[in-house]
Amino acid sequence: MAGDPQGGVAGTAEKPFVAACGHGRAILQHFCAPAFLPMTDPTDPNYAAQRAVATELVALILLADGVLASRELEALDRLGIPQLLGVERDALIQAVIDHCRRLLQRPERVDPVRMLDIERFEMMLDRITDPALRETVCRAMLVLAKADGVICQPEQTLLRDVLTRWGIALEQLRD
């Protein structure tokens, strides 16, 4: 299927979601604003744990389409996403590597197309309680999904699940 001008996949039922994501440049500019730095106190005992989960979620969106595109890595660096999440870039790249290793270690009987254990994913989402970090993660996931020019079906599903679970409207990410 060919990509459409909105950055989605032509012929899918996901047009409203993709259309809402069509303001990539505005989201990218707004994403870099200092107001979106997570507000959790670094002395909070959950600070490091929440950032580790945020790192894993960003790694998931980078791999959701099955390709780690150079434009996604360029956007990661250009926007300073690791810094916005409060982690080192190496930690984020390690999260990508670790996810790939987990995929390779799965038993053969597991559905090869399924990139993510849903229960594990939901537990990850529940571990992030900082509202500002949740919004930052959503923004990061959105701009990285859009970075390669196409928000594919698995990326759309992942984004929709995160937004729904956290009760964040896509419109909030445009503000």
Residue among 123, 155, 30, 120 nearest 84 (CA): 30
In whole angstroms, how far apart are CA 107 and each of 92, 100, 141?
A: 26, 14, 28
- Would you state the pLDDT for residue 11? 36
Q: What is the DSSP letter of 7?
A: S
- Would you state the pLDDT for residue 109? 52
55 CB-near residues (< 8 Å, 6+ apart): 82, 85, 87, 91, 92, 95
- Would you state the pLDDT for residue 103? 75
- Would you state the pLDDT for residue 175? 56
Residues of the chain below pLDDT 70: 1-42, 106-116, 175
- Would you state the pLDDT for residue 21? 45
Going from N- to C-terminal start, the domains of the chain cover: 15-173
Residue among 66, 56, 162 nearest 113 (CA): 66
